[in-house]
């Protein structure tokens, strides 16, 4: 039995969101505030049902419609009232869980079989947070609302900013724990034939009683804020038990190893030794306190009617681990330090890993607490173990994060009952902000949370991209994308926007342009060096992510009449671009004349937030007669944009020396030609050019080429929609 997928509706920013699960390990990735934590909270709230819902768990834009419904209640006559749940359904938080059940597992779900003909396959269960009694909610809300309005009227309050509770239905449910008083999670069975989209339940669909997942799914959670207050934390866990290995060892020992619980013959010697030690210590206590207790007789205590004082120690096996040195790390023979002196990252790693061990052993009922069940032959295991982990990277450095993601699922399956071909399944779901964790995971296990463009009157929502559909094919493009991402950081999956650059010079200098000439320095940008001839291979991934993407590439002009050989750009010469990205992705134009005069908006995709930026004509206005020149790549465009600056550089070698010499030419066309020849010469080292430039010149003084300036301004405009605090004067 495994969870095939879940469908979340009307829960915070997840208005309508399907999340496919893998058979073993699923990772939630995405930019900050994209919905990863929202999805985890939805799973925790609906599965655990311990933490109370709040009005903020409803999708914000839904409250406008619910408040309008409350206003109708206050103004409608009895004959016009509609107190059916139909008006609420499209606004209620809900979680659809679709299990795949094998025929041999039918005995687990006998109480959930949808039809007599059903013999296994998909089984759908909806958990919906809904009003318990709409009539009662109507009476109490309208009564409170009438009282509030009458008080305002009696007080002759004319101010628009003064109100008395409750102003709206949301206001009523938000106060005095009213939401959880009037609402509850109800469980419904769904039709397996209608699994492709969320079903609409009708009046005949009656909620089932009890916990539908009891005996089916064992659910364990590791929250993000370990050691801090977390709304989803289990209340019985103290900070120390969550954070320290020693606390977890005590808990594990008490439940699984304590010899005083269901002792076996192997425990007799240990218990006898504890008893003998207790007797000896009690005798010592009486002897030590004999004189002190005798002094109390001066106070006539103990006296007539008062009991005699007797000292008795208590030896608890668990107390042996209840001190700060219970766990020690051995440095060398004879030297060790208590747990608290070890690095926080290492403490956190072993704490999480041991918690996974405890989850697994509790599921498999390992230990003395379960011996009585085994003896009676009533031991039962849930067929599915679901483990939810939020942000395991907290306090873990990069290498430890990679170790964790490689080993976590393996540890959860390390038991004789859980080997390949067994009857029990484990599914691990992790939400993360770490590109190191994403890098080590299989890309087909990634679920990317994609922020949607906010619409008028509707708060921003998110959808989920199943990257197994992007990386699941076996074509050459997919293979290249996987290989490329495996050689780079995977911050692409967490960025606000991505910039694909042509080569090493752009990779080194574009960050300076961002810092000095844009308002993007506070945004999370991913900069990937991909090359103009390969950028288009990431097209399927970029488009499926829906991420804002600027492709900074080169014209790479060629002459089709000369076997497509490299040529210095120029107009009216029937030249073309040799750049695959420009030809096949954006703007899908080969003709160089058309590219040189193309409007900026036509360099954008109509369907996705993607724009290409390439060299555009430069007007050299320092001449008596301004001349238009046409750069070939980033390097000559940069020099032509900063001619006066480059003409002052001395001491350079290689490519930068040639560029400086070209910059001092009085004839601008001759200058552009010399730069083109230097760039295209055999052995031209562009990375060395950028490094020498950084050595000789403060990059803060460089002006970015105009095509890059336009590209950065475009990103600012796109991000300003999602980041209201982003300052920009270029929109």
Q: How far apart are CA 372 and CA 28, in angstroms?
A: 40
Please tell me whether residues 712 and 577 are part of one structural domain: yes
Residue 235 has pLDDT above 50, yes or no: no
Rounded mean pLDDT of the chain?
Answer: 85
Q: What is the pTM of this model?
A: 0.85
Q: How far apart are CA 636 and CA 569, in angstroms?
A: 12
Q: Give the tokens for residue 56.
A: 């903020």
Closest CA to 232 of 37, 422, 403, 73: 37
- Structural domain tally of the chain? 3
Any domain includes 333:
no
Any domain includes 201:
yes
Any domain includes 675:
yes
Residue 234 has pLDDT above 60, yes or no: no
Q: Give the tokens for residue 105.
A: 């597992």
* Contact yes or no for 537/720 (Cβ under 8 A): no
Among the ranges given (33-37, 89-93, 565-569, 617-621), the one the predictor scored with the smallest mean pLDDT = 617-621
What 8-state DSSP symbol labels residue 637? H
Please tell me whether residues 714 and 692 are part of one structural domain: no
Q: How far is CA 584 from the centre of its chain?
A: 33
Q: How far apart are CA 591 and CA 583, in angstroms?
A: 9
Residue where one domain finishes, among candidates 210, 244, 265 = 210
* Contact yes or no for 353/404 (Cβ under 8 A): yes
Q: How far apart are CA 355 and CA 340, in angstroms?
A: 18
Sorting pLDDT into bands at 50, 70 and 90, what band is 289?
low
Place of tokens 């699984």: 256
Sorting pLDDT into bands at 50, 70 and 90, what band is 342?
low
Strands (E), 631-711: none
pLDDT digits (tens, 9 = 90+) for 644-673: 999 889 888 899 999 999 999 988 999 999
Q: How far apart are CA 494 and CA 391, in angstroms?
A: 13
Which of helix, strand or coil describes residue 132? coil
Sorting pLDDT into bands at 50, 70 and 90, what band is 348?
confident
Place of tokens 């900013």: 161
pLDDT digits (tens, 9 = 90+) for 622-649: 556 789 999 999 999 999 999 999 988 9
Q: How far is CA 649 from the centre of its chain?
A: 47
Strands (E), 215-273: 217-222
Among the ranges given (189-203, 513-527, 619-633, 638-652), the one the predictor scored with the smallest mean pLDDT = 619-633
Q: How far apart are CA 306 and CA 525, in angstroms?
A: 77
Place of tokens 């679901």: 386
Which distant-in-sequence residues (6+ apart) come within 8 Å of 209 by Cβ?
Answer: none
Which distant-in-sequence residues (6+ apart) come within 8 Å of 109 by Cβ?
Answer: 99, 101, 123, 216
Sorting pLDDT into bands at 50, 70 and 90, what band is 236?
very low
Any domain includes 519:
yes
Please tell me whether residues 502 and 488 are part of one structural domain: yes
Quote the pLDDT of residue 261: 67
Any domain includes 191:
yes
What 8-state DSSP symbol labels residue 80? G
Q: Give 30's strand partners.
A: 449
Which of helix, strand or coil describes residue 207? coil
Please tell me whether residues 649 and 712 are part of one structural domain: no
Quote the pLDDT of residue 229: 44
* Contact yes or no for 589/598 (Cβ under 8 A): yes
* Contact yes or no for 523/723 (Cβ under 8 A): yes
Quote the pLDDT of residue 463: 94
Q: What is the mean pLDDT of residues 361-372?
A: 78
Quote the pLDDT of residue 25: 97
Burial of 726 (0-12, 13-18, 19+ CB in 10 A): middle
* Contact yes or no for 609/547 (Cβ under 8 A): yes
Place of tokens 């219970």: 326
Please tell me whether residues 626 and 585 are part of one structural domain: no
Kind and range of the H or E run holding 331: strand 328-332
Q: What is the mean pLDDT of residues 320-344?
A: 55
Residue 258 has pLDDT above 90, yes or no: no
Please tell me whether residues 686 and 712 are part of one structural domain: no
Q: How far apart are CA 185 and CA 50, in angstroms?
A: 11
Residue where one domain finishes, among candidates 188, 210, 232 = 210
Please tell me whether residues 713 and 690 are part of one structural domain: no
Any domain includes 277:
no
Q: How far apart are CA 145 and CA 151, in angstroms?
A: 10
Please tell me whether residues 514 and 628 are part of one structural domain: no
Residue 28: CB atoms within 10 Å:
25
What 8-state DSSP symbol labels residue 474? -
Residue where one domain finishes, among candidates 149, 176, 210 = 210
Percent share of the chain, pLDDT over 70 = 81
Burial of 329 (0-12, 13-18, 19+ CB in 10 A): middle
Any domain includes 549:
yes
Q: Give the tokens for residue 644.
A: 């006066």
Percent share of the chain, pLDDT over 90 = 57
For 383-451, what is the HEC assignment?
CEEEEEEECCCCCCCHHHHHHHHHHHHHHHCCCHHHCCCCCCEEEEEEECCCHHHHHHCCHHHEEEEEE
Please tell me whether residues 77 and 165 are part of one structural domain: yes
Please tell me whether residues 527 and 667 are part of one structural domain: no
Please tell me whether residues 568 and 622 are part of one structural domain: no
Report the DSSP pairing between strands 446-451 and 121-131.
unpaired
Residue 526 has pLDDT above 70, yes or no: yes
* Contact yes or no for 514/520 (Cβ under 8 A): yes
Which distant-in-sequence residues (6+ apart) come within 8 Å of 307 by Cβ?
Answer: none
Q: How far apart are CA 727 and CA 725, in angstroms?
A: 6
* Contact yes or no for 313/278 (Cβ under 8 A): yes
Residue 311 has pLDDT above 90, yes or no: no
Residue 542: CB atoms within 10 Å:
24
C-alpha gyration radius of the chain:
34
Quote the pLDDT of residue 676: 97
Q: What is the mean pLDDT of residues 63-82?
A: 88
* Contact yes or no for 199/97 (Cβ under 8 A): no
Closest CA to 632 of 583, 579, 668, 701: 579
Please tell me whether residues 641 and 545 are part of one structural domain: no
Going from the C-alpha of 281 to that of each of 32, 160, 308, the distances in angstroms are: 59, 76, 20
Residue range(s) defining the domain that contains residue 124 = 50-210
Any domain includes 489:
yes
Strands (E), 516-664: 525-529, 548-552, 557-559, 565-566, 576-577, 610-613, 618-620, 627-629
Sorting pLDDT into bands at 50, 70 and 90, what band is 310?
low
What 8-state DSSP symbol labels residue 616? -
Q: How far is CA 23 from the centre of its chain?
A: 19
Quote the pLDDT of residue 160: 64
């Amino acid at each position: 039995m495994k969870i095939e997928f879940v469908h979340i509706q009307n829960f915070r920013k997840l208005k309508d969101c399907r999340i496919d699960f893998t058979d073993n390990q699923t990772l939630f990735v995405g930019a900050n505030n994209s919905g990863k934590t929202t999805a985890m909270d939805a799973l925790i709230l609906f599965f655990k049902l311990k933490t109370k819902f709040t009005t903020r768990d409803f999708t914000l834009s839904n409250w406008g419609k619910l408040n309008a419904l409350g206003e109708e209640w206050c103004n409608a006559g009895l004959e016009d009232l509609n107190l059916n749940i139909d008006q609420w359904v499209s606004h209620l938080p809900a979680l659809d869980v679709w299990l795949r059940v094998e025929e041999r597992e039918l005995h687990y779900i006998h109480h959930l079989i949808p039809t007599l003909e059903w013999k296994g396959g998909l089984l759908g269960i909806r958990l919906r947070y809904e009003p318990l009694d709409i009539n009662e909610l109507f009476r109490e809300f309208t009564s409170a609302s009438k009282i509030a309005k009458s008080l305002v009227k009696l007080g002759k309050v004319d101010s628009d900013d003064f109100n008395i509770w409750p102003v709206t239905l949301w206001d009523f449910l938000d106060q005095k724990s009213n939401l959880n008083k009037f609402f509850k999670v109800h469980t419904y069975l769904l039709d397996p034939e209608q699994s492709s989209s969320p079903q609409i339940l009708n009046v005949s669909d009656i909620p089932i009683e009890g916990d539908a997942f009891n005996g089916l799914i064992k659910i364990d959670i590791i929250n993000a804020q370990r050691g801090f207050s977390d709304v989803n934390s289990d209340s019985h866990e103290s900070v120390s038990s969550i954070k320290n290995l020693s606390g977890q060892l005590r808990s594990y020992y008490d439940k699984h190893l304590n010899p005083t619980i269901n002792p076996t013959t192997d425990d007799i010697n240990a218990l006898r030794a504890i008893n003998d030690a207790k007797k000896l210590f009690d005798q010592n206590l009486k002897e030590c306190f004999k004189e002190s207790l005798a002094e109390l007789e001066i106070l006539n205590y103990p006296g007539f009617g008062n009991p005699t004082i007797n000292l008795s120690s208590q030896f608890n096996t668990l107390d042996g681990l209840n001190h700060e040195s219970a766990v020690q790390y051995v440095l060398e023979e004879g030297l060790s330090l208590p747990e608290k002196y070890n690095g926080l990252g290492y403490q956190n790693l072993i704490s999480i890993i041991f918690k996974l061990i405890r989850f697994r052993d509790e599921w498999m009922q390992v230990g003395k607490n379960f011996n009585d069940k085994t003896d009676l032959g009533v031991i039962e295991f849930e067929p599915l173990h679901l483990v939810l982990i939020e942000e395991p990277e907290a306090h873990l450095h990069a290498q430890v994060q990679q170790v964790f993601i490689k080993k976590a699922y393996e540890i959860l399956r390390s038991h004789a009952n859980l080997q390949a071909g067994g009857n029990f399944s484990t599914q691990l779901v992790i939400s993360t902000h770490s590109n190191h964790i994403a890098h080590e995971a299989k890309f087909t296990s990634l679920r990317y949370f994609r922020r949607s463009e906010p619409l008028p009157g509707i708060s921003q929502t998110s959808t989920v991209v199943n990257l197994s559909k992007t990386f699941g094919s076996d074509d050459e493009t997919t293979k290249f994308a996987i290989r490329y991402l495996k050689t780079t950081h995977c911050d692409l999956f967490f960025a606000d926007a991505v910039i694909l650059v042509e080569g090493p010079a752009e990779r080194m200098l574009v960050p300076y342009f961002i810092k000095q000439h844009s308002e993007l320095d506070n945004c999370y940008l991913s900069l990937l060096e991909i090359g103009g001839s390969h950028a288009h291979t990431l097209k399927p991934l970029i488009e499926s992510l829906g991420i804002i993407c600027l492709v900074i590439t080169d014209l790479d002009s060629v002459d089709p009449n000369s076997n497509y050989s490299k040529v210095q750009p120029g107009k009216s010469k029937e030249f073309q671009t040799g750049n695959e990205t420009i030809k096949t992705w954006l703007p899908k134009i080969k003709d160089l004349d058309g590219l040189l005069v193309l409007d900026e908006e036509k360099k954008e995709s109509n369907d996705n937030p993607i724009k290409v930026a390439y060299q555009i004509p430069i007007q050299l206005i320092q001449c008596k007669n301004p001349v238009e020149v046409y750069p070939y790549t980033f390097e000559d465009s940069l020099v032509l944009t900063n001619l006066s600056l480059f003409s002052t550089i001395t001491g350079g070698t290689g490519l930068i020396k040639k560029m400086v010499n070209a910059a001092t030419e009085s004839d601008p066309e001759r200058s552009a030609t010399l730069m083109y020849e230097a760039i295209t010469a055999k052995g031209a080292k562009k990375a060395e050019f950028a490094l020498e430039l950084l050595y000789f010149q403060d990059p803060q003084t460089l002006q970015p080429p105009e095509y890059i300036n336009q590209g950065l301004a475009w990103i600012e405009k796109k991000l300003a929609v999602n980041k209201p605090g982003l300052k920009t004067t270029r929109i």
